[in-house]
Structure 1
């Protein structure tokens, strides 16, 4: 992940006892559904008694009455769709309310555009069905109107009622599929905003962050919208509770291949791989996304689903350098005829750091360093290790060896003297990760910032091996959109491969990292154009249209969104793609999809 540290699928689990329902503070219902991204987990209890004279689904009726709907309306909704799917019942209730309360404003609302832009920028869908609703006080007539609509039309109307445009809703349905629930569709349209709403009170959202209708509705249904948003927030909190429980009970990462060589690495015998990309993933433009391999369960499945169902390629950079770096890559690049950067980098600690060999004890059997982090071991730690070793004249006992080796592996400590270990220096980290010497030095950049920037970067040799297939494809140069560009790992990989950088749009929030990339650009006498942008959320459709018009499109879109909420070392807020920083993955997908759409339309 080459950027400043800035929907997870959950398995279906049945909760079968009232105690468990109470523990999770779920609303009482005879059969309710907890909606979670990528799936639904049924929560069932026994049939409710009929002591009040209501049918056995009275708890379900009470649940929706408590949300502000009339009993008559709830009963009709359950009769319409059955009591087994609360998501669908809620859709019907909100739609009924919109039709009952605001038919006149529906008629008077501006006409929607007849053609909707889909993911491939064209659609034959006609929104004229909205004109079919007439002013009536009869619930029976409202129900007949709804019954006359297709499932797609019902969902489009419902999404428009929530404040989304018909265009947004249609694109979401085309991308997610006709059988997608409304929850999945809204997650697609505004995943980043929903993720933020899950971590903060809805009242803290600014007016710009709240979804607003552009064509069909004005202010007529604020009360129902608020109830739906409150319900979504309640669901989100319950979902986070379940996810926390699942992580505590079974914090199982994705099953990673062993050895972790992806579609092949240099000097390692492996079978010849062939893959067929989904049609939606075929370039141009080419795209390349990276993040930590050991993410919470379901994260990579979600990332793959959003990135056109391309399977991730998991690679450990220990096959390219002397340090491990387990990463997942999703891309649509060719995988045949790759070649490594030359000269080949050192692959062992002794080759990379020859001066350490003099002091390296025989009982430290490491040949590779662990993954580079954003922080280093303290002077107090290295002093404790020195004192622990000095108590023994010869080889220390096994307990001391274990203590020292555990700390050395954790902090990548190397031997620099008798009984003396030290963390890696920034220039040593630069060399291990494939960056030029002194790449992060100068310009008033602190030692701490150097470690932070390097710890969040690509391993250049690994990325260059994947990019090598582009050399013959772009002999005249390449136009690159680099999201979360960090200190320029992708740019340096292409440069070292001998691929001219015609135009680069680098998006990076850290001013320190932007200055590092700008300095490298000038020192290497790049002849192309470098445009740097501070915030990925500044890249909206208009800005992308302008950049694509200026540069004629992008050949490659690279990104490694922040891994804060994915990394295994984060036990405080390891919330997956719902986390505040890691939710920026959805901005990578949003921008990639916009670029594909705009470029496809301009062809």
Structure 2
């Protein structure tokens, strides 16, 4: 990437601006055909006639070839791409109405629909597609890939290959094609040779990844071990000011050691088998379960799979308040003696309604100075559920956004302003990292990267990881942030500007944009990543969600497999740089 593309500290990489490159098919079958019909050096001077001739030899009709050449000139890759597209739509006419359906276009724009879920599969139009192959192609098209890319991937990987693996294959093929496009003025034969070397390497990497995944999926399941027994107290591998747990020997496999370090957070109380599956895909590393009540005045039970060292961790200073009355001193004078809460429950994405708080006020007032046991039980139950605090005589209220920011470890007004509503503030704060907890785990990086760190932040939210690293005093040299929410991107960008960060902040608004090609561009610019950090709101795993609590098959929780895909791809690319 040339220096003109990184003039400012904030960069928005949008591959839509590179349509003429990124929409070119990069399937392996495409490249094989080019290699098979590469013209000799003596024929390069009459490329026009040879272009038509070689495509006729490949079995395309004369009318189709002439049309493609007229539309794309002598760009052989673009001509072949067009021919494959014509042939695809000619053979699969039912795909055309899927592509033209605005409902499908809208669905394709949402990263939460990367994998098919129950709602999509029950769609009548989806059911009516003629074959399993058509359904798979349509799903990949909805995800933003070209139909010919999808067909080539299915042909190479087989029809029963999971969608996630097909996506990995296409990403690898895209990288190989773009590498070919960057070879400049090399001769045609040399380009083919260089491309084949790159394609062979990434084909091998994808085969290794597919082999590993199939091996994991075939392993016999110990159903007794699928249920994770959470520790009590939930202190992970140790927390400040608490007795150290008796630790077993922590094992990090050789292939998972070292840079880039990775760190993945998810809710601790997940459905049966979820943590077992995530651990299997992340090198069988045991999760570290921690409750944020040891770091702040609110509980937040989370699990972390990471390859970070666990020795010589340090806590952020100054240490945050650890009880409700320390954190919210204005509540103490109104707090009834029969409400024994010392800490709040997990910060949620929604708050108790005005009707609920009014109902509580009336119930307490009717009971006099000493409410009846039934009234006390009801009030405490609702206060715990909704994190209600006492703000006046017999008067409870939900937390204000600035109070949630403080409890979650963010600076004052982190989510305020910029046209962001209060409802949005509650949502993004409820989905964020608890900064003090995460910073304790990341503190080991300070001595490793005293001159700064390059971070790939997946599903970044409002920048909890970035804030944690900044508060630890670790310079942020480069941050590639992947976040679908425009609100979250605005908040992170605002914080970045206000804190006068000297590094580069690069935004991707869709996880599908994080292809091998884009990662290579990033790594060519600043030499690779030191940390890959991520987490998902995981409503599909939340204990309070009874309607779509469907584990790793959910529309949000399935993003874990994107995290896994990118870790494997980055680590592979960095090993071979």
Give the TM-score of the pair, scaled to structure 2.
0.64
Please say if 1:518 is aligned against 2:457.
no
After the TM superposition, which of the residue ranges 292-301 and 201-210 deviates more from structure 2?
A: 201-210
Cα distance change, pair 393–481 in 1 and its aligned pair in 2 (3 A): same
How far, CA to CA, are the matches of 1:481 and 1:296 in structure 2?
A: 28
Cα distance change, pair 550–401 in 1 and its aligned pair in 2 (3 A): same
Please say if 1:257 is aligned against 2:231.
yes
Matched residue, 2:240: 266
Please say if 1:303 is aligned against 2:290.
no
Shift of 1:444: 1.1
Matched residue, 1:33: none
How far, CA to CA, are the matches of 1:586 and 1:296 in structure 2?
A: 17
Shift of 1:308: 1.1
Matched residue, 2:460: 485
Matched residue, 1:463: 438
Shift of 1:217: 4.8
Matched residue, 2:426: 451
Are 2:350 and 2:427, in contact at CA under 8 Å, matched by a contact in 1?
A: yes
How far, CA to CA, are the matches of 1:601 and 1:444 in structure 2?
A: 45
How far, CA to CA, are the matches of 2:232 and 2:162 in structure 1?
A: 46
Are 2:115 and 2:555, in contact at CA under 8 Å, matched by a contact in 1?
A: no
Are 2:477 and 2:504, in contact at CA under 8 Å, matched by a contact in 1?
A: yes
Query: Equivalent residues in 2 for 1:161-180 (5 A)?
Result: none
SS of structure 2 residue aligned to 1:415: strand
- For structure 2, the residue ranges without an aligned partner over 5 or more in a row are 1-28, 37-112, 130-134, 164-223
Are 1:322 and 1:369, in contact at CA under 8 Å, matched by a contact in 2?
A: yes
Please say if 1:329 is aligned against 2:329.
no
Matched residue, 1:426: 401
Are 2:235 and 2:245, in contact at CA under 8 Å, matched by a contact in 1?
A: no
How far, CA to CA, are the matches of 2:160 and 2:293 in structure 1?
A: 51
SS of structure 1 residue aligned to 2:279: helix
Are 1:483 and 1:507, in contact at CA under 8 Å, matched by a contact in 2?
A: yes
Please say if 1:393 is aligned against 2:365.
no
Shift of 1:580: 1.5
Deviations 1:409-444 (A, max 9, x none): 000000011110000000000000000000000111
Shift of 1:111: 12
- For structure 1, the residue ranges without an aligned partner over 5 or more in a row are 1-105, 114-190, 230-249
Please say if 1:288 is aligned against 2:241.
no
CA RMSD of aligned residues (A): 2.8
Are 1:565 and 1:579, in contact at CA under 8 Å, matched by a contact in 2?
A: yes
Are 1:195 and 1:583, in contact at CA under 8 Å, matched by a contact in 2?
A: no
Matched residue, 2:348: 373
How far, CA to CA, are the matches of 1:227 and 1:550 in structure 2?
A: 34
Cα distance change, pair 394–580 in 1 and its aligned pair in 2 (3 A): same
How far, CA to CA, are the matches of 2:491 and 2:292 in structure 1?
A: 23
Are 2:154 and 2:161, in contact at CA under 8 Å, matched by a contact in 1?
A: no
Deviations 1:194-222 (A, max 9, x none): 6577666463634636784548959xx9x
Which has a greater percent of helix? 2
Cα distance change, pair 199–372 in 1 and its aligned pair in 2 (3 A): farther
Please say if 1:579 is aligned against 2:537.
no
Matched residue, 2:39: none
SS of structure 1 residue aligned to 2:561: helix
Cα distance change, pair 215–583 in 1 and its aligned pair in 2 (3 A): closer
Matched residue pairs, number?
A: 393
Deviations 1:53-105 (A, max 9, x none): xxxxxxxxxxxxxxxxxxxxxxxxxxxxxxxxxxxxxxxxxxxxxxxxxxxxx
Deviations 1:464-518 (A, max 9, x none): 0000000000000000000000000000000000000000001100001100000
Shift of 1:582: 1.2
Are 1:110 and 1:216, in contact at CA under 8 Å, matched by a contact in 2?
A: no
Matched residue, 1:122: none
How far, CA to CA, are the matches of 2:161 and 2:328 in structure 1?
A: 62
Matched residue, 1:355: 330
Match of 1:597 among 566, 572, 576: 572
Query: Equivalent residues in 2 for 1:202-217 (5 A)?
Result: 203=129, 205-206=138-139, 208=141, 212=150, 214=152, 217=155
SS of structure 2 residue aligned to 1:416: strand
Matched residue, 1:240: none
How far, CA to CA, are the matches of 2:263 and 2:155 in structure 1?
A: 39
Deviations 1:386-408 (A, max 9, x none): 00011122110110000000000
Deviations 1:25-57 (A, max 9, x none): xxxxxxxxxxxxxxxxxxxxxxxxxxxxxxxxx
Deviations 1:517-570 (A, max 9, x none): 000000000000000110111101111111111110000000002311000111
How far, CA to CA, are the matches of 2:362 and 2:440 in structure 1?
A: 44
SS of structure 2 residue aligned to 1:391: helix
Matched residue, 1:44: none
Are 1:254 and 1:296, in contact at CA under 8 Å, matched by a contact in 2?
A: no
Matched residue, 1:566: 541
Give the TM-score of the pair, scaled to structure 1.
0.62
Matched residue, 2:414: 439
Are 2:458 and 2:483, in contact at CA under 8 Å, matched by a contact in 1?
A: yes
How far, CA to CA, are the matches of 1:375 and 1:227 in structure 2?
A: 39
